[in-house]
Amino acid sequence: MSDDGSTTFGRPWADLPRELADHMRPHLDEVADDMIQEIQTKVREYDRPGDGSYSGTLRQAVERVLHYFVDRVADPGHEPASVTDFFRAIGRGEAGEGRSLDAMQSAMRVGGMVAWRRITEGAEAQQVSPRTLGAVGEALMQFQDELAKAAAEGFSQAKAAVAGEMQRRRKRLLDLLFADPPAAQEAIADLAAAAHWPLPRTVAAVALGRPGQDTRQPAFPPDVLADLTRRTPSLIIPDPDGPGRAKLVDRALAGTLAVVGPTVPLMEAARSIQWARKTLCLVQRGVIEAHDGVIRSVEHMSTLILFQDEGLITSLADLRLAPLSHLRASQQDRLAETLLAWLQSGRNANEVAMRLHVHPQTVRYRLRQLEELFGDQLLDPDLRFDLEIVLRARALLADNAGERIIPQAREAVGDSAEVVTFRRT
């Protein structure tokens, strides 16, 4: 161990006699031939007799490695940049061709064994000491590690570049599919091919809520288009109604506030994301209840229709619920709740009492108040339909402070309305 605590392994070059380089140089061509033959025999990916350019690249790599090794034996401070850059380029090339580094690493091991065999044969002839031979072995192993590391760096760089470019294409494809009006079908098909994304028949868009403290990103299936950098993070799920797809989506989005829009033809993806965003907005406002698991727009279509134009709903409420406008807010709430339950239960007072968990006599009292306030409006089926619409919207907003679609009370009055009976149509 050296003074700085490091071992001599990793720094063996300084222990090598410089004259070894002079003994090695005359034999480099022979060693190169042996290494190439052995590599092509034992690593089938390198056995390409009809590919002259590939064989030329292999010979170039072997010769550069051998000459660099000998130059470094002669001068331990020899600059390694040229050979390591060369192997980084090899790593990038393997990634670009869609291959792994397995074949190259196998070739390096085979080449290293040939080199060590020739070194040991020469050492015996030159009567090299065991200590020196050990240092040569260490230097050879370190050299192989350096080259393997350089190739791995180039491979990773190329993979990252390809992945980044593919991700950019997929985000651009998401933009085209969400465009309104939609982009040309030919443009979408061309970009999908470049992004390696098979065109599906149907899709569903997903709108995601912004993550809170948990910043972990969901792991999506590879065929899902995703852009989590958008103002509303969004996805496109191909063939969402296929076998097992719903469960797959639910698992991927577990623990995430996610709204899945309706399934639509591919070219109508913009419509799906629009409804997903509207649903997400209503969830975030509390109009639609957030629950564990994925929320699907198709399960809340009536609510989406109600809130498609809130200004229109408010105007209709001002018109139809005007008879309640002069009451205190608490009275408005009780009577509106009772009127909605009455409309939803087929105008049956006993069922209203069960729905509201109040005494039937209390319900009848409130219904008489409502008849006094609304009069013959409650006899008109069309007006009753309007009332149910605005009362449903009001009930959905009931838990949101400050969101009311009935004007605040202008005049305080009591609950002492004269008792009357509700007439039926």
pLDDT per residue, tens digit, the chain (425 aa), is: 333 333 333 466 777 788 888 888 888 888 888 888 888 888 887 777 656 666 777 888 888 888 888 888 888 777 766 788 888 888 888 877 777 888 888 888 888 898 888 888 877 777 778 888 888 888 888 888 888 898 888 888 887 777 778 888 999 999 999 998 888 999 999 999 988 899 999 999 999 987 654 445 667 888 999 998 888 899 999 999 989 888 888 888 888 899 999 999 999 999 999 999 999 999 998 888 887 778 999 999 988 988 888 889 889 999 999 999 899 988 999 999 999 999 988 888 889 899 899 999 999 999 999 999 999 989 999 999 999 999 988 888 875 544 555 444 333 333 333 233 333 33
Cβ neighbors of 143 (< 8 A, separation 6 or more) are: 65, 69, 72
Angle between the N-to-C axes of helices 381-396 and 329-344, in degrees from 0 to 180, rounded to the nearest 10: 120
Helix H or strand E encompassing 143: helix 130-178
Residue 211's pLDDT is 62
Q: Where are the domains of the chain?
A: 12-162, 200-307, 310-399
Which residues are paired to 203 by β-bridges? 238, 264
User: What pLDDT sits at residue 402?
Assistant: 46
Distance between CA atoms of residues 277 and 271, nearest Å: 10
Closest among 245, 234, 259, 262 to 171, alpha carbons compared: 234
CATH for 12-162 is 1.10.490
Write down the pLDDT at residue 386: 92
Cβ-based neighbour number of residue 63 at 10 Å: 16
Q: Which stretch of DSSP H or E encloses residue 272?
A: helix 269-285
Of the CA atoms within 13 Å of residue 404, those in its CB half-sphere come to 15
Output the six-digit token pair for 143.
């050299």
Nearest CA to 22 out of 83, 81, 73, 86 is that of: 73
| Beta strand 202-208 pairing with 234-238 | antiparallel
Q: d(Cα 183, Cα 176) in Å, to the nearest integer?
A: 6
Bridge partners, residue 258, by sequence: 208
d(CA 287, CA 417): 33
H-assigned helices in 9-51: 19-24, 28-42
State the Cα–Cα distance between residues 316 and 297, nearest whole angstrom. 25
pLDDT of residue 4: 38
Q: Is 235 helix (H, G, I), strand (E, B) or coil?
A: strand
SS3 296: strand
The residue among 255, 244, 252 whose CA lies nearest residue 220 is 252
Neighbours of 149 (CB within 10 A): 14
| pTM tops 0.85, yes or no | no
Question: How far is residue 77's CA from residue 308's CA, in Å, rounded to a whole number?
Answer: 74
Amino acid 215 reads T
Within 296-406, residue ranges assigned H as helices are: 301-306, 310-320, 329-344, 349-356, 360-374, 381-396
List the one residue out of 16, 145, 137, 11 whose CA is nearest residue 1. 11
How many residues appear in the chain? 425
Comparing CA positions, the residue from 344, 357, 355, 202 lying closest to residue 265 is 202
- Closest by CA position to 256, among listed 204, 227, 291: 291
Cite the beta strand spans of 215-274 per DSSP E: 225-227, 234-238, 258-260, 264-265
Identity of residue 28: L
